[in-house]
Amino acid sequence: MIKKFLLNSIIISTLCLFNFSVVNAKCKFITDIGKKYTKAIEKNYGALPENENGYNELETVASEFCPDDNFDDNFLIRYTFIDKTLAAIQLFADNSIDNSATESMKLMKYAKRTYGDFDTGGNPEFYNNFNIWEKVRKYIVYNRRLIGNFWEEEIYISSDKYYEQLVQYENERESIEPVENEN
């Protein structure tokens, strides 16, 4: 009788722990900040595009790396590499057609569950701000802002080590983008 009770207790405890770990699962990115784009990664995701300045971006749907978070095709991950070293991860809502990705609150809930709670005011649906978490050798920024009629929402992960290089890259990228003809 006691053995049966102990066995049942162990089984129930194990199941509870398993359920808890699934609920708190977080995205399993290609690699971590500061790690190289290895041959094993290349085998799975292809070679990084050639680029003379050493900066490369790889974009993919988030559901591939975050299977337990119910992200659909409106959630994307952009990896930014400097000399084949991961410098930044950007998990973002693609609201180019409508705001349904942001309105689903999935990215905000993921940020709070994974990195820590933050104050969103009386109604999280109207949150229009950012929050920063500083972790060991990296920082995470959750940013949600309304621009015109569209929400921009992202989780940005990087480290101080790559900050200046990434700013330079963003400035170069913005100055190279073609300007639409106003005629």
Mean pLDDT of the chain: 85
The answer to whether residues 45 and 30 touch, using CB atoms and an 8 Å cutoff, is yes
Model confidence over 53-99: pLDDT tens digits?
Answer: 889 999 999 999 999 999 999 999 999 999 999 999 999 999 999 99
What pLDDT was estimated at residue 53? 82
Q: Provide the domain limits for residue 170.
A: 26-176
Please state the domain count of the chain. Answer: 1
Residue 16 in any domain: the answer is no
Q: List C-alpha distances in Å: 97 to 72, 93, 180.
A: 14, 11, 20
Q: Count other Cβ atoms within 10 Å, centred on residue 49.
A: 10
What is the rounded distance in angstroms from the CA atom of residue 21 to the CA atom of residue 100?
Answer: 28
The answer to whether residues 95 and 152 touch, using CB atoms and an 8 Å cutoff, is yes
| Residue whose pair of structure tokens reads 């199941």 in the numeric block | 15
Q: What is residue 32's three-state secondary structure?
A: coil
Residue 116 in any domain: the answer is yes
- Name the residue type at position 37: Y
What pLDDT was estimated at residue 148? 94
pLDDT > 60? residue 8: no
Residue 181 in any domain: the answer is no
| Residue whose pair of structure tokens reads 């084949």 in the numeric block | 84
What is the rounded distance in angstroms from the CA atom of residue 158 to the CA atom of residue 141?
Answer: 9
> Which DSSP string corresponds to 48-90?
PPP-TTSEEEEEEEGGGT-TTTT--TTEEEEEEEETTEEEEEE
Confidence of residue 178 (pLDDT cuts 50, 70, 90): low
